[in-house]
Amino acid sequence: MKSAILKHATRLPSAMSLPLMRLNKSAKRIYGNDYWVHRNFLQQMQGGYDASDDLFNSVNRALSVIPYYRQRYGRTRIRSIEQFEETFGFIDKDTILGNYDAFIDPDADLSEYDQGTTGGTSGKPLRLIAPKRRYVIEMATMHSLWGRVGYDFSPRAVIRNHKLGKNRTFEVNPITREVIFDGFRLEADYFEQVYDAIRRLDLRFIHCYPSTAFEFSTFLIERGYDTSFIKAFLSGSENIFDYQVDLIQKRLGIRFFNWYGHSEKLILAGYCAYTNLYHIEPTYGYFELIDEKGLTIREPGKVGEMVGTSFHNPGMVLIRYRTGDFAEYAGDYCPLCKRRVILLKNIKGRWSGDKLFNADGTYITTTALNLHSDLYSVINGMQYLQDRKGEVKILIVKSPQYKDEHEKGLYRHFRQKFKADTQIKIEYVDRLKRLQNGKFVHIISNVKE
């Protein structure tokens, strides 16, 4: 019932949805008592949290019920961090792709889980299951992060991967208190409408991709508009760059609050309330940063790969999962907010936010093109090629389940994202292209901005 309400909430006319949104001021009422209990728990744990027991409970249960771990490690019981590191090897996406069924708890009630995929940033997307009630942990933790810059479940603007009709400036979800704008019309004329709406509706927080925050901020500076009512950009899902932070925070004077998360939902981190250092959330999952030899990094300034272990997904526990994302270790204590947590900076994710251009020079980021649908389950790889603006070639490695209707679905998806005059061509290949050093990149482009 709740999912149906959430799905259709944006279909109400603005004359109804805006008053409903203003009346809806209780996150506890929307997300439930478990959400509220976890929010309070997170508040109490702000000083620091020892996640060892959560780790031991998760991995010892996995050793008992998850076939992959039972077969590989037997009936071992983990009682210390040292034993955990000595016992478990690392896994990655390819490990799961080659042993998918063995990672699923055979006694799990799959009706209580959603099935989805990662974004396919390394060719072949990864199938996952996650509890339907994961929003309790997810939203409680995310709202806790956003609370560092004053977010209090107030209405917020969302400019991400939604595409609206040409005559619609925005749509409203009164349940989640979101005013949703078109994330594919990043042009001055539309930004004018966005600005008018967020000012009129007093939307103090803008939830968007970093690249969108930068484009919109550039527009605001060029027009000389008043931005004193905007409290923060809440951004994630792309790499960020110094020039973006400099323009938004120093020139425009708006807080640019970024967070890191990923589809596997093992690691979540957000900026400090006072600095642009990421703070790892220790209650969300177990975090490690490892060097090229697989050893844990604890020295500031060293860069390593981010590794996570599940706390909240008993149906599909991932232990020491290599994310393919990298970061620089910055310490284990923040003197400004007084939290004893792992601090990171310079996170660089797999999903780079690279751009594909329409003929007129406007662009779509690959983040916004992410399918996140069952189309991913019928392809064994995808890659974008662009030699000139307004022309995009999409390489697809088909799975045996791929059919003609899937091609139609892909064309329909991509035509909705790009401008009408952009030429899109799907080409089927046996393998995707790699760089001379053997590395795979999601987009190969010869286009200069």
Q: Domain with 360 in it: what CATH number? A: 3.30.300.30
Q: Residue 9's pLDDT band (boundaries 50, 70, 90)?
A: low
**Average pLDDT, integer, range 222-241:** 91
Q: Are residues 281 and 146 in the same domain?
A: yes
Beta partners for 386?
Answer: 445
In angstroms, the CA 432 to CA 440 distance is 8
Residue 108 within a domain:
no
In a shared domain, residues 242 and 331? yes
Same domain, 223 and 337: yes
Query: Do 271 and 244 fall into the same domain?
Result: yes
Q: For 96-121, what is the mean pLDDT?
A: 88
pLDDT at 280: 97
Question: Domain end: 316, 348, 380, which one?
Answer: 348
Residue 236's nearest CA partner among 215, 208, 275, 278 is: 208
Burial of 424 (0-12, 13-18, 19+ CB in 10 A): middle
Kindly tell me if the per-residue pLDDT of 373 is higher than 70. Answer: no
In a domain, 412, yes or no: yes
| Together in a domain, 263 and 363 | no
Mean pLDDT, rounded, for 222-250: 90
Any idea what the CATH number is for the domain that residue 243 is in? 3.40.50.12780
pLDDT at 186: 83
Among residues 317, 348, 379, which one ends one of the domains? 348
Nearest Cα residue to 34 out of 132, 154, 147, 128: 132
Residue 5 lies in a domain: no
Average pLDDT, whole number, for the chain? Answer: 90
Mean pLDDT value across residues 19-47: 93
Q: Is 174 exposed, middle or buried (0-12, 13-18, 19+ CB in 10 A)?
A: buried
Q: Which helix (H) or strand (E) holds 396?
A: strand 391-398
For residues 344 and 401, membership in a common domain is answered with no
Parent domain of 272: 32-47+136-154+204-348
| Lowest pLDDT segment from 34-43, 68-77, 114-123, 128-137 | 114-123
Q: What is the pLDDT of residues 152-211, one digit of tens each?
A: 999 999 999 888 987 899 999 999 999 999 988 888 999 999 999 999 999 999 999 888
User: Is 124 part of a structural domain of the chain?
Assistant: no
| Residue 21: inside a domain | no
If pLDDT is split at 50, 70 and 90, which confidence band does 53 have?
Answer: very high
* Closest listed residue to residue 318, CA positions, set 92, 147, 165, 16: 92
- The whole-number pLDDT of residue 1 equals 43
235: which residues sit within 8 A by CB, 6+ positions away? 207, 208, 209, 210, 212, 213, 256, 257, 258, 259
For the chain, the domain total comes to 2
Specify the range with the lowest mean pLDDT, choosing from 41-45, 303-307, 373-377.
373-377
* Mean pLDDT computed over 333-342: 95
Whether residue 245 is found in the same domain as residue 341: yes
What's the rounded Cα separation, in Å, for the pair 141 and 151?
13
Residue 218, domain member (yes or no): yes
Whether 169 is in a domain gets the answer no
C-alpha–C-alpha distance, residues 214 and 206, integer Å: 12
322 and 365 share a domain?
Answer: no
The rounded percent of the chain whose pLDDT value lies above 70 is 93
Is 146 in the same domain as 288? yes
Is beta strand 379-386 parallel, antiparallel or unpaired with respect to 443-445? Answer: parallel
